[in-house]
Chain A
Amino acid sequence: MTAESLAAALRRLSAVFILVFCSGCLSGCGGKDTGCDASSLETIHTCRVGVQVGTTSDTGVTELFKSKSAEGMIERFNTSPDAVTALRQNKLDLVVVDEMPAKEFVSQSPELEILDYEFARERYAGIVALQNQELLQKINDALKTAQERGIIDKLKETYIFKSGDYHYIPEQNGSETIVMATNAQFPPYEYYDGNRMRGFEIELAYAVADIMGKKLKIDDIEFDSIINAVSSGKADFSFSGFSETEERKKFINFTLPLIDSGISIVVRKDGEHGSGLSFSEKFHANFIEQERWKYLAGGLGITLIVAFFSTLIGITGGFLLAVVRVVHHRTGRLGLLNFIVRLYINIVRGTPVMIQLLIIYYVIFASVDVSKILVAVAAFGLNSMAYTAEIIRAGINAVDPGQFEAGKSLGLSDRSIYRYIIMPQALKNVLPALANEGISLLKETSISGYIGLIDLTRGGVIIRSLTYEAFMPLMAVALIYLCIIGIMSYGVSVLERRLKKNER
């Protein structure tokens, strides 16, 4: 009997390998000639351009292309490494991105180069909530002190001009914590090196925190969520390569400028296609080098923890909600409670889980410092509860009413009947549906990255941002999900078969 499900698992696996093989063939091929002329700013609107959403590159490119009625040529990505990956795959003609990251990308990918004219020049500054004038003043004072002590110049030498090897050693002996939000996919300002965040702005933030006598906590979140996080109080400030713009000034305060930067244009060199790395070299670069596999291992741990506990909440909570619904249906009691439960189920089922996650993190827990794992567990658990409740309710209703009547005629209490007769049968009925719910919940946790939790998916994203390579990290992540879900399905089918012996 195990052979059967093993065979099914193998079939599923082989399907994935076919998928992997095909996508391997497709990536690197394709692309089309668009008649792109990138010789000057006057003509680049003829090219397919990629930008990171919400950055000044995005604003600048949008403005320029709009004036040429070429907005359709813009593609906006969540991170600039994603844009670079698309450029390497010939899905774009050029990427407009800040100067330093551009240099970083080009040094990693020999087939890319930077055009010799700049898109624009700008200055980066830190950001602080509008109402928090006191903190703004303190950070500005600390920045001045850092400048006087030569810390800023020495960090520039290390990270920007690559001519020094100075690193700021954090003292961190303050007792009060200060939270900085950033998006660590922006080398050399903030990025991951092993499991640690590094970069110009990261070390500068530690220096500033030390000067202010505070303990620094860094939250790595999506770039387009940072302004939100700072103005809602989730984070106290952010150093994350923010350029001053009039639009942004309406929502937040800028500190003194941290550094000047240009915006560069990255293109593929003529005739270069894809990287020449072999499969094993790619594997090495994506997983072995700098122990990058640890992003996946750590992320898997988080994914499993979040999925496990939210399933637990989902099933217990869903069970209780289902009992309320059934008791109301059979006896007419608990009217108000039943109304609330129905409202809850409709709200949860009527909104996307990602929005629920963001609402719980940014609205409900806005001013509370709470573990992100806890937020994710709460969000996915509360979401799953609504679905599980309906599944269990259907399972209870599917049990033959004669079972209840027989219990009644033997003088058993309603409680005993539900506990010993109805629920065991209902749970057996709904086991496959519950397993499916568990499986989709596990997959849904892949959006945890939106609140900065480094789960399995996010771990893959980080590797992608370091290697500018889509194929390996994505396939690895997909395979890991597939294996866990394969194991889960197998476990459920074994359990189902054991329960089947008392089938009607």
Chain B
Amino acid sequence: MSVNREISGEIVLKVDNLCKSFGKHEILSNVSFTVKKGEVIAIIGPSGCGKSTLIRTLNLLEAPTGGHIWFHDKDLTQASRKEISKIIPKIGMVFQQFNLFNNLTVRRNITMAPVLHGIMSKEEADDWATGMLDRIGLREQADKYPSQLSGGQKQRVAIVRTMAMNPEIILFDEPTSALDPEMVYEVLSLVRELADSGMTMMLVTHEMKFARNASSRVFFVHDRNIQEDGTPEQVFDNPRNQRLREFLMRVSCK
């Protein structure tokens, strides 16, 4: 059922023995994996298992307590501040709570970072934003403030904001968990569209159907590590791990 994707051999992200603890509490222990260009990786697992922490560590929102994160040939855990500031914009992130800038209009939310980084001029950015908002049907909202939008609209703007930086990979941290049910669809279709366009993505989600249909690869995270790593068919139809089986049972019973 999953889409045939063109996945090149180029490695975008390589994670090596990543560890993360908060004080004495260990969340991730020796996690290792690679992400190739064009892959769409769904990350599933029970609540509180460290899925969010995993992807928040990848763009250094949480500082890793051990291991390495390679972005192409640069080790983020060893890079200088200056190098990091060049790499982070290449790793986009979409948050559960949208985190649009409350004091800026929709348009400024999208254009601010690329203009500050010199990726686009102000005019180019405005035109680009207008075009994108038009595509997602939010052109009318361009000059409104985030408080005037619905949750679904906010999240779609947040996705466009991330895309404006022209990232090589986008991390989604439960992008639909804070939405009312009727808004989940509009956000997921945009995510799906993005996936189909060949964007490399990692997606923490509780939408099992979506994970199965849209992803090229699935991680099951449990007990501080990735317990199962395979295609959607392998993970959902033929789970080997006992905990994964239990987890899938519980999810489908809901």
Using C-beta atoms within 8 Å of the partner chain, give the interface range for chain A: 20 to 34
Q: A413-B85, A504-B146 are contacts. A406–B116 as well, Cβ < 8 Å?
A: no
Complex: A403 Cα to B158 Cα, angstroms = 12
Asked if A405 meets B99 with Cβ closer than 8 Å, knowing A501-B145, A504-B147, the reply is: yes
Task: Report the separation of the CA atoms of residues A421 and B100 in the bound assembly, to the nearest whole angstrom.
Answer: 10
Min C-beta distance of B157 to chain A, whole Å: 12
Which of B102, B104, B165 meets A411, CB within 8 Å? B165
A425-B102, A503-B147 known; A420 vs B112 contact (CB < 8 Å): yes
Q: Is A147 an interface residue (CB 8 A)?
A: no
A411 / chain B contacts, CB cutoff of 8 Å: 85-86, 88-89, 113, 117, 165
- Identity of the chain B residue whose Cβ is nearest the Cβ of A501 in the assembled complex: B145
Q: How far is the CA of A400 from the CA of B96 in the complex (A)?
A: 13
Scoring B residues 62 to 97 as 1 if CB is less than 8 Å from chain A, else 0, what string do you get?
000000000000000000000001101101110101
A375-395: which residues lie under 8 A (CB-CB) from chain B? Answer: none
Contact of A502 among B113, B147, B161 (CB under 8 A): B147
B103 within 8 A of A: yes
Contact A424–B93 (Cβ < 8 Å): no
- Cβ-based interface call for A416 (8 A): yes
- Judged by a CB distance under 8 angstroms, whether A428 is at the interface is yes
B103 touches A428 (CB 8 A): yes
> Are B103 and A421 in contact (CB-based, < 8 A)?
yes
Please name all residues of chain A whose beta carbon is closer than 8 Å to the beta carbon of B85 when the two chains form the complex: 411, 413
Evaluate contact between A416 and B116: CB separation under 8 angstroms. Answer: yes
Q: Does B253 contact A (CB under 8 A)?
A: no
Partner of A403, one of B86, B89, B102, B162: B102
The answer to whether the Cβ of A6 comes within 8 Å of any Cβ in the partner chain is: no
Partner of B61, one of A405, A413, A416, A503: A405
Give Cα A416–Cα B89 distance, bound, in whole angstroms: 14
Q: Is there an interface contact between B88 and A406, defined as CB atoms closer than 8 Å?
A: no
Chain B: residues with Cβ within 8 Å of the partner, total of 29
Do the beta carbons of A504 and B95 come within 8 Å of each other? no
Which residues from chain B contact A420 at a C-beta distance below 8 Å? Answer: 101, 104, 112
Say yes or no for A408: interface residue by CB 8 A criterion. Answer: yes
Chain B residues with CB under 8 Å of A425's CB are 102-103
Complex formed: what's the CA distance from A413 to B88 in Å? 11
Whether A408 touches B113, Cβ cut-off 8 Å, given contacts A403-B99, A502-B145, is no
Chain B residues with CB below 8 A from A402, complex form: 95, 97, 99
Which residues between 133 and 173 of chain B lie within 8 Å of chain A, taking CB atoms? 145-147, 158, 161-162, 165
User: Residue B59 at the A interface, CB < 8 A?
Assistant: yes
Measured CA separation A405–B158 after assembly (Å): 13
Interface hits, A481-504 → B, CB 8 Å: 501-504
Task: State how many angstroms separate the Cβ of B53 from the closest Cβ of chain A.
Answer: 13
Interface bits B186-200 vs A (CB < 8 Å: 1, else 0): 000000000000000
Chain A contact residues: over half helix, strand or loop, or mixed? helix
B214 to chain A, nearest CB (A): 22
B103 touches A424 (CB 8 A): yes
Rounded to whole Å, the gap between the CB of A301 and the closest CB of chain B is: 37
- Taking CB as reference atom, which chain B residue is nearest A402? B99
A406/B101 in contact, CB under 8 A: yes
Q: A408-B88, A410-B89, A416-B116 are in contact. Are A502 and B102 (CB under 8 A)?
A: yes
Q: Is the CB of B100 within 8 A of A406?
A: yes
Residue of A nearest to B109 (CB): A406
Residues of A within 8 A of B162 (CB): 409-410
Complex CA gap A340/B165 in Å reads: 41
- Inter-subunit contact B113/A410 (CB<8 Å): yes
Contact of B101 among A403, A409, A501, A503 (CB under 8 A): A403
Q: Hey, which chain A residues are within 8 Å of B88, CB to CB?
A: 408-409, 411
Contacts of B59 in A (CB 8 A): 408-409
Q: Are A412 and B113 in contact (CB under 8 A)?
A: yes
A504, B165: Cβ atoms under 8 Å?
no
Closest CB in chain B relative to A400 CB, distance in Å: 8
**Does B161 lie within 8 Å of A410, measured CB to CB?**
yes
- Residue on A nearest B101 in the bound complex, by CB: A421
Q: A416-B116, A502-B147 are in contact. Are A409 and B93 (CB under 8 A)?
A: yes
Q: Kindly provide the distance from the CB of B225 to the nearest chain A CB, expressed in whole angstroms.
A: 25
Contact of B95 (CB < 8 Å), options: A405, A421, A424: A405
List chain A residues, Cβ under 8 A from B116: 412, 416
On chain B, the residues within 8 Å of A504 by CB distance are 102, 146-147
Nearest-neighbour CB distance to chain B for A431, whole angstroms, equals: 13
Minimum CB–CB distance for B105 against chain A, Å: 8
Q: Looking across the interface, which residue of chain B has its beta carbon closest to that of A411?
A: B89
* Beta-carbon nearest neighbor of B158 in chain A: A406
Give CA–CA (A421, B116) in the complex, Å.
13
The interface residues of chain B lying within 8 Å CB-to-CB of A408 are 59, 61, 88
Chain B residue nearest in CB terms to A503: B147
B165 touches A410 (CB 8 A): yes
**Using Cβ atoms and an 8 Å threshold, which residues of chain B touch A416?**
116
A248 to B16 alpha-carbon distance, docked (Å): 84
B76 to chain A: closest CB distance in Å?
13
Residue of A nearest to B105 (CB): A502
B46-64 near A? 1/0 per residue, CB < 8 Å: 0000000000000101000
Which of A402, A413, A425, A502 lies at the interface centre, i.e. has the most chain B CB atoms within 10 A of its CB?
Answer: A502
Closest residue on chain A to residue B145 by CB atoms? A502
Task: Give the residue name and chain of the A residue nearest to B113 (CB).
Answer: A410
The interface residues of chain B lying within 8 Å CB-to-CB of A503 are: 145, 147
Q: How far is the CA of A410 from the CA of B161 in the complex (A)?
A: 9
Contacts of B112 in A (CB 8 A): 410, 420
What mask results when residues 21 to 47 of chain B are scored 1 for a CB within 8 Å of chain A, else 0? 000000000000000000000000000
Residues of A within 8 A of B101 (CB): 403, 406-407, 420-421
CB-contacts of A416-433 with B (<8 A): 416, 420-421, 424-425, 428
Q: Given A421-B101, A424-B103, does the pair A406, B147 have CB atoms closer than 8 Å?
A: no
Given A406-B99, A410-B113, A504-B146, 9 more contacts at CB 8 Å?
A403-B101, A411-B86, A411-B113, A412-B116, A425-B103, A501-B145, A502-B104, A502-B146, A504-B102
CB pairs A–B below 8 angstroms (8 shown): A400-B97, A400-B99, A406-B99, A406-B100, A416-B116, A425-B102, A502-B147, A503-B147
